[in-house]
Amino acid sequence: MTLLLIFSFLTFTNPAPAPTGYTIGDVATDFSLKSVDGKMYSMAQFDKAKGFIIVFTCNHCPFAVKYEDRINDLAKMYTDKGYILLAINPNDPEVQPNDGYALMQERAKEKGFVFPYLFDEGQKVYPQYGATKTPHVFLLDNERVVRYIGAIDNNADDADAVTEKYLENAISALEKGEKPNPNMTKAIGCSIKVKK
Amino acid sequence: MVSMVRSVCIPFMVVMFSTSLCGQIPAYHSFDAFAKEHLERSDDTMYLFNFWATWCKPCVEELPHFITLSEKVSDGPYKIVFVSLDSYKNTEKLFAFVTEKLPNQSVVQLTDNKYNDWLDKVDPSWSGSIPASLLQKGLKREFHEKQFEDFEDLHTVWLHFIKN
């Protein structure tokens, strides 16, 4: 990781950071992160899970906020089907105070989140996944293999105008033993907040 | 008092430098329409497209560096275009912001929210976070998915692109 960072500083022709994080087929790392309920959560706790929906999201980002209800609905829809949704706030509250732990607890309570809303203490998990913005979704199967990365659907502004439910379609594919297609999609989001 | 026409009147400058409009912020509902008018260029002008939004804090923080750049640039024809990704629902807020903070700049609003269809067309490496900037001169392009930390950071990238 450090080598990649050094290398990217040396490549003057295209200073864009070298892509890091997972791609389709990689095995994703587990973690142990604190949720708004005060408890620690890991994927290992859910040994009967058919898959995991890891959503990097936060309080402050307007795009993440647009998806809050949808994320909650997805958790309600899929937990019984064996897909565990875990939301992770990757931001540094010192850079973005609205993403602090206490405010996460407030938001979870206010919106009735039914899923663990985890704080990426030390910001160590999101770089391993390669999350670059909020919201950013990684769908894993029961062996934690990454099967879909990207957007939840194709209309952030208007849930009623969605024509492609990318994440739901990806889960349906997994249920049928098929490969999600598309397996990667792109959308606009807020950059992840780290100290400079 | 009758409110003046909701328009941003910017003086029309020499064609060598950034031309602007006296009127509302041009809005593109389709990326292809925006690309046809702005990205498909073969002239010798140096373009910098900054993708931003009023709701994006790091975007707003770096805007002054581009304004400083527009004041300092002296070599060759250039144009800095601020491409707002504010939603069509946010047009009023965008207009108020631009009137106050970017009064003499070229600003357009791109409201095509089918991002998965067009982000790659700006640059395949773009993961979708903003701010992001595209430098373009003729067929040469360079994309930066990042916030410029200060004017020097931006200026260095600009100069390097021009000289290579």
Q: What amino acid occupies position B99? A: T
Q: Tell me if ipTM is over 0.95.
A: no
SS3 B80: strand
With CB atoms and an 8 Å threshold, state whether A191 touches B147: yes
What pLDDT sits at residue B24?
Answer: 79
pLDDT at residue A6 in the model:
53
Q: How far apart are CA A192 and CA A60, in angstroms?
A: 11
Interface residues of A toward B, Cβ cutoff 8 Å, are 12-17, 19, 62, 96, 132-133, 150-151, 154-157, 164, 166, 182, 185-192, 196
Of all helices (H) and strands (E), which one includes residue A66?
Answer: helix A62-66
Q: Residue B120: its chain A contacts at CB < 8 A?
A: 186
Beta-carbon neighbour count of residue B113 at 10 Å?
21
- Which tens digit of pLDDT belongs to each residue from B46-72? 999 999 999 999 999 999 999 999 988
Q: Is the CB of A19 less than 8 angstroms away from the CB of B87?
A: no
Q: What does the pLDDT look like over A19-74, one tens digit per residue? A: 689 999 999 999 999 999 999 999 999 999 999 999 999 999 999 999 999 999 99
CB contact at 8 A, B127 and B145: yes
The predicted pLDDT at position A1 comes to: 59
Report which of residues A137 and B21 the model is more confident about. Answer: A137
Q: Report CB contact under 8 Å: A132, B164.
A: no
Q: Kindly list the residues of chain B whose beta carbon comes within 8 Å of any beta carbon in chain A.
A: 55-58, 85, 87, 89, 113-116, 119-120, 125-131, 142-147, 149, 157, 160, 164
Mean pLDDT within B8-16: 42
Q: How far apart are CA B56 and CA B97, in angstroms?
A: 12
Positions in chain A short of pLDDT 50? 7-18
